[in-house]
Amino acid sequence: MMSLCPNPNPSFLHLHHHRHRHRRRPFFVRSLDAAQSFDFESRAVDRLNAKSKLKIAVVGFGNYGQFLARTFAAQGHTLLAHSRSDHSAAAAAIGASFFRDPHDLCEQHPDVVLLSTSILSAADVLNTLPLGRLRRSTLFADVLSVKEFPRNLLLSALPPDFDILCTHPMFGPESARHGWAGLPFVFDKVRIGESEERISRCNRFLEIFEKEGCRMVEMSCAEHDHKTAESQFLTHTIGRILAKLGPEDVDIGTKGYQTLLELVQNTCNDSFDLYNGLFMYNKNATELLDRLDFAFTELKKELFGNLHDILRKQLFENPEESNEYIARHNLLVGKCDWVQACQTEVT
């Protein structure tokens, strides 16, 4: 029969007590708010964000190219810049890399080459780019104010593997100084490859403008040029006609007159090369000028035809006042040669 040991081993009792006390020690769970090196979710988000960014080469880094590039940089895209003039300081100010040599630019293998030149110089600038140094699937986009001309230019000058996206942000530094929200952005996916990567790249570029709140309008290049001849070219033409008149700001000017002064300022702030390009490279512009000239001629005929009717009525119904009216009429005729021609036709 076994009996309990009256004097158990003290070391055994100490070990047993220690284990028992350890099992009852409370277990605490702590969480850290900051992302750790093993935070795979954070890493995945970073990789996703990086994948959504583009490396954009802005070719033609003048006033308008810099205007667009500032927003591109603010959204986190990598910016490369090239121009015939030295705009390295402006590029550095927004974190862009400036390249004087187009070979050095193309060796950076941008995802998107954005043509932001004047309309008149677009072909010459495009011909200076060493296309063989770019990846064969590079996306070319433009922001010229006419669309059929750059569409045909890019289709003829670029290898067939290159993607082409013709766009027109219908705003500039002056009209969009308070933001791009609600302003129209016209685009035409002229040639985009069928692969998921190339479709995604095109959409990511368009998303730049969507994120700024632009009103996205997909439209063919031909339709764009037809509609902008009625709006953009007409606006610039009226503004420059008014500028030739030399209107002055007066303290009793109406709101309508102030609007005309603003139109002169907005249109004449753009270079004449831009206006000339709108005329030279939009086949609808010549027709619009003819219609404008015809409309002005018709308006003059209506005004002075009405004047002659009034004079004729006054001559026959109020003979005693005829000398006074004849004097007034001759004064008007003396001021305008074309009024004299109208008078001859009536009489």
More confident residue, 169 or 52: 169
Q: Across residues 177-189, what is the average pLDDT?
A: 96
Share of the chain above pLDDT 70, in %: 75
Task: Kindly tell me the burial class for residue 249, based on how many C-beta atoms sit within 10 Å of its own C-beta (0-12, 13-18, 19 or more).
Answer: exposed
User: In the numeric block, which tokens belong to residue 199?
Assistant: 């479709």
**Longest Cα pair distance anywhere in the chain, in angstroms?**
161
Q: Indicate whether 282 pLDDT > 90.
A: no
Between helix 272-280 and helix 234-245 the angle, nearest 10°, is 130
Residue 283, pLDDT score? 84
Q: Across residues 310-334, what is the average pLDDT?
A: 62
Name, of 151-155, 290-294, 342-346, the range with top average pLDDT.
Answer: 151-155
CA distances from 115 to 42, 85, 313 (A): 36, 15, 63
Question: In angstroms, rounded to a whole number, what is the distance separating the alpha carbons of residues 71 and 227?
Answer: 27
Q: Indicate whether 26 pLDDT > 70.
A: no
Each residue of 227-250: pLDDT tens digit? 988 778 888 888 888 989 888 887
Q: Indicate whether 292 pLDDT > 60.
A: yes
User: In the numeric block, which tokens belong to residue 265?
Assistant: 């300022």
Angle at 203 between CA 201 and CA 206, to 5 degrees: 115
Residue 315, pLDDT score? 66
Each residue of 147-165: pLDDT tens digit? 999 999 999 999 999 999 9
Lowest mean pLDDT across 14-18, 170-174, 255-259, 312-316: 14-18
Question: In angstroms, rounded to a whole number, what is the distance separating the alpha carbons of residues 249 and 257?
Answer: 9
User: In the numeric block, which tokens belong to residue 313?
Assistant: 């009525």
Output the CA torsion 256→262→263→265 (10° steps). 150
Q: Across residues 129-133, what is the average pLDDT?
A: 97
Q: Across residues 192-211, what is the average pLDDT?
A: 97
Share of the chain above pLDDT 90, in %: 49
Q: Indicate whether 12 pLDDT > 50.
A: no
Q: Indicate whether 278 pLDDT > 90.
A: no
Question: In angstroms, rounded to a whole number, what is the distance separating the alpha carbons of residues 129 and 57?
Answer: 12
Q: Long-range contacts made by residues 336-345, C-beta under 8 angstroms, separation at least 24?
A: 338/300, 339/304, 342/301, 342/304, 342/305, 342/308, 343/308
How many CA atoms are closer than 13 Å to the CA of 267, on its beta-carbon side? 23
Each residue of 72-118: pLDDT tens digit? 999 999 999 999 999 999 999 999 999 999 999 999 999 999 999 99
Question: In angstroms, rounded to a whole number, what is the distance separating the alpha carbons of residues 172 and 180?
Answer: 9
Q: Indicate whether 341 pLDDT > 90.
A: no
Question: In angstroms, rounded to a whole number, what is the distance separating the alpha carbons of residues 159 and 161?
Answer: 6
Q: Are 61 and 118 in contact (CB under 8 A)?
A: no
In this structure, the strands spanning 112-115 and 139-142 are parallel
Question: In angstroms, rounded to a whole number, what is the distance separating the alpha carbons of residues 37 and 59?
Answer: 40
